[in-house]
Amino acid sequence: MKRKWYTYFSMVMLIMVFGINHFFILEYNVNIIEYIRYSRDFTHREKEILSEYAPLIYGGNINDPPMGAYYEESGQYLGLAVDHMSAISIQLGENIISRPMVWESAIEALKKGETDICDMIPSQERGKHFAFTDPIYPIRGVAVARKEYEEILRGDDWKQLKIAVQKSDYSAEFIADRVDKKNIVYAKDLKEAIHLLESGKVQAVAGDEPVIRYFMKELRYMDDYHILAKPIYDENCVLGVPIENADIVPVLNKAIFSLRRNGTIDKINEKWMPYAETGSDRNTEKLRLVFLMASLIGLLSAYTAYMWNRSLKNLVDIRTGELERTKSELEVTFNGISNMIVILDMNGKAVSVNRSYSEHTGKAEKDLTGTYFMEMPVISDFEKNFSGIICSALNDEHGSSEAFESTYELKNDSGIYNIKIFPLEHGQSSVGRIAIMMEDVTVQKINQEKLTQENKMSAVGQLAAGVAHELRNPLGIIRNSTFLLNEDWNDMQMRKMAIESIDSSIERAGKIIDNLLNFSRINQSIDEDIALREMVNQVTGLYSANTKKHKISIGVDIDECICIRTNRTSLSHILINLIQNAVDAIKEDGYISISAHMEGKSAMIYVEDNGGGISSRHIEKIYEPFFTTKEIGKGTGLGLYIVYSECAKIGADIDVKSHEGKTVFTLKIPECREHGGDLR
């Protein structure tokens, strides 16, 4: 499209340039380039050329009124050409000296270089001797004869006529091909030629119209003779200079252009040739030019509009095809998405469902389309369980409902679903349509729970040896106490001590077993109030035997008043994996520090160890599943992945900073309270 507009404007510019150029030719007899060049002041070189020829000598016809004539009684040389010479002299800033002479002599003097300039009609013959300037005035040639020869003149059959012409005049060259040489009579000027016509020595006279009319009127021959209406030539008169002096022509042209542009030339021509219609002819040509340009631009605009409409139609066809293809591709994509998608209009009716939803519900797409959302499987349960979320989204006038900003988890008889609502069309004041995306995560949730439980069981296995060792101590005490009871002692005090030892040992063993069972049971998504220090002590108690064996000390620095509300099993699983990770990193002789404090409404928990640290190239990968730097068979790579997953489940943030010899995991649990305070 841009290319067509560029072509259109280029063509318009070309037409405009053509029109302006033609206008300059009509008005000033110069083209655009010459107009620009002539509009400048005289250059230094042009002034030098002018000074070489100054003063210029003009040789004109001594008896050629109104073009130029010398009046002896007054001693003045007057006429059209004389006024032009005066105007050019003023424009050049140099004198032009006029030397009137017989026309033939004027031409000869110019050839010999005795004069510098002369006005003439350019011709091929004269071009052999002279260089020509731009035109200064128009001139027409006519033929005049007695009325009885009028028909002959009109028929252009001049060979039988004897015709008088001024010697060396342009008319002589013009009639040379039309009249036998023996029938051409040369006169020194047109006045003499008309006398020859009057005396009957010739049948016709040919020459410049202004001069012929002047002498015919002066000699009162107008009634007896007829001037042919059709000009024998219609030319422009120029200034001729000797061909060897052609370098002055551009200087003279610049002066002529300036006189034409300021109107001086037209005024001089009107003064001496009032009957001439050159101005009206020029105006007619201008009108024709304007009409031609308007027609060309109109035709070009019409053609461009046609081509534009045609290209637009083609573009529309192309875009329509692309839209059809895109629509087809979107339908394939829409139906190929594994998640279930339902699109509702503003009235809550399904306008489109994808294949996944259709297959899940066991209903055809055409049967589901147009159904009210409260009658659609899964969606109706979602709306009931979440108190009108979809209605709220449909009725939200500004399309900024919180319904679009959350992911909801729905549990019903058919499974577990993650549901998200998206706005599809926003008007100025309402949401036009909404899309409901449902992901069946039942299997995923089950697998995730299995993975978490398997990880827990792996940890239980690692703790089993330590727990067994812990149980041996209370079992040994029980065994010794029962031995004492079996002895036949009468010491009641000893028997009482034995029974108390048995009770305390059984209670201790029960706590150890309870801790292990609490950790190993399937995770329940229930939040409860937890005393943080007590819970951490329970978790670290599971590792007491293992840490003693490897000479690792565990320190807990947590205020008893810190209480958090979260999922107990998720938090214990996080701590178990972080402690186990620290134990594996230390190996022998080290410490593990667990501390916590309140930061605003959040509890900050720190698990620090002095193990080998985590390298910078590994630290970004530690939460990836199955990533481990341990030897084969000594790690699954799921510990920190489970930590990250459990943090996401309870809304906690986890961060790690590590360098050689020290690693600190930071756990941030939001919305906590200190003991005795209200839950925020």
| Beta-sheet strands, E only, within 91-134 | 96-101, 118-120, 130-132
Inter-residue contact 149 to 170 (CB < 8 Å): no
- pLDDT bracket for residue 110 (50, 70, 90): very high
Q: Order the strands of the 350-353 sheet from edge to edge.
A: 350-353, 340-344, 434-440, 415-423, 407-412
Single-letter amino acid code for the residue at 633: G
Residues 140-162: b if buried by 16+ CB within 10 A, e if exposed: ebbbbbeeebbebbeeeebeebb
Q: Compute the C-alpha angle 154/156/157, nearest 5°.
A: 115
271 contact partners, CB below 8 Å, separation of at least 6: 80, 83
Write down the number of H helices and E strands in the chain: 22, 26
pLDDT per residue over 366-422, tens digit each? 888 889 989 888 888 888 888 788 888 887 655 455 667 678 888 887 788 888 888
171 contact partners, CB below 8 Å, separation of at least 6: 141, 165, 206, 207, 208, 232, 233
Distance between alpha carbon 371 and the CA centroid of its chain, in Å? Answer: 44
623 contact partners, CB below 8 Å, separation of at least 6: 640, 641, 643, 644
| CATH number listed for the domain at residues 41-276 | 3.40.190.10
SS3 405: coil
- Report the predicted TM-score, pTM, of the whole model to 2 decimal places: 0.45
CB atoms within 10 A of CB 406: 11
pLDDT per residue over 123-160, tens digit each? 888 999 999 999 999 898 888 887 777 776 676 667 77
Residue 66 preceded by cis peptide, ω within 30: yes
Longest dimension (CA), the chain: 193
Greater pLDDT, 227 or 445? 227
d(CA 662, CA 75): 126
Residue 572's nearest CA partner among 534, 602, 613 is: 534
Helix (H) or strand (E) holding 138: strand 137-146
Inter-residue contact 395 to 347 (CB < 8 Å): no
Say which DSSP state 523 is in: P
User: What would the mean pLDDT of 649-678 be, rounded to a whole number?
Assistant: 79
Q: How is residue 559 written in tokens?
A: 């205020």
Q: Domain spans of the chain?
A: 1-40+288-335, 41-276, 337-440, 446-674
| Environment class of 245 (CB within 10 Å of its CB; exposed 0-12, middle 13-18, buried 19+) | middle
Q: In 487-531, which ranges are continuous DSSP H helix? A: 492-520
Q: Calculate what percentage of the chain has a pLDDT beyond 90.
A: 18
Single-letter amino acid code for the residue at 491: D
Per-residue pLDDT at 45:
92
Report the half-sphere exposure of 52 (CA within 13 A, side-chain side). 11
Q: How is residue 372 written in tokens?
A: 């009210």
Single-letter amino acid code for the residue at 17: V
The answer on pLDDT for 456 being more than 90 is no
Residue 226's nearest CA partner among 300, 319, 152, 169 is: 152
For tokens 């005490």, the residue is 477
CA-CA distances (angstroms) from residue 150 to 80, 107, 181, 497?
30, 32, 21, 169
CB atoms within 10 A of CB 491: 10
- pLDDT bracket for residue 677 (50, 70, 90): very low
Helix (H) or strand (E) holding 580: helix 568-586
- Domain 337-440, architecture per CATH: 2-Layer Sandwich (3.30)
d(CA 556, CA 518): 21
User: What would the mean pLDDT of 497-521 be, rounded to a whole number?
Assistant: 64
Per-residue pLDDT at 518:
57
Single-letter amino acid code for the residue at 602: S
Inter-residue contact 162 to 203 (CB < 8 Å): yes
d(CA 421, CA 428): 20
Q: How is residue 144 written in tokens?
A: 């005049």
d(CA 238, CA 127): 12
Per-residue pLDDT at 596:
93
Single-letter amino acid code for the residue at 186: Y
Report the half-sphere exposure of 313 (CA within 13 A, side-chain side). 6
Taking only Cα atoms into account, the Rg of the chain, rounded to an integer number of angstroms, comes to 59
Instruction: List, in sequence order, every residue forming a beta bridge with 662; answer none if it has no partner.
Output: 659
The answer on pLDDT for 250 being more than 90 is yes
The answer on pLDDT for 506 being more than 60 is yes
| Choice among 21-30, 99-108, 432-441 with the minimum mean pLDDT | 21-30
Residues 91-103: b if buried by 16+ CB within 10 A, e if exposed: bbebebebbbbbb
d(CA 479, CA 219): 171
**Positive/negative CA dihedral, 304, 306, 309, 311:** negative
Mean pLDDT of the chain: 80
- pLDDT bracket for residue 491 (50, 70, 90): low
pLDDT per residue over 532-577, tens digit each? 999 898 888 877 777 887 888 999 999 989 999 888 888 888 888 8
661 contact partners, CB below 8 Å, separation of at least 6: 610, 611, 612, 613
CA-CA distances (angstroms) from residue 610 to 299, 384, 585?
90, 53, 8
CA-CA distances (angstroms) from residue 241 to 110, 181, 208?
7, 29, 21
DSSP 413-444: TTEEEEEEEEE--B-SSSB--EEEEEEE-HHH
Per-residue pLDDT at 133:
94
SS3 106: helix
Per-residue pLDDT at 441:
84
**Positive/negative CA dihedral, 256, 259, 261, 265:** negative
pLDDT per residue over 44-87, tens digit each? 999 999 999 989 999 988 888 888 887 777 778 888 999 999 99
Q: 446-674 belongs to which CATH class?
A: alpha beta
**Positive/negative CA dihedral, 482, 483, 485, 491:** negative
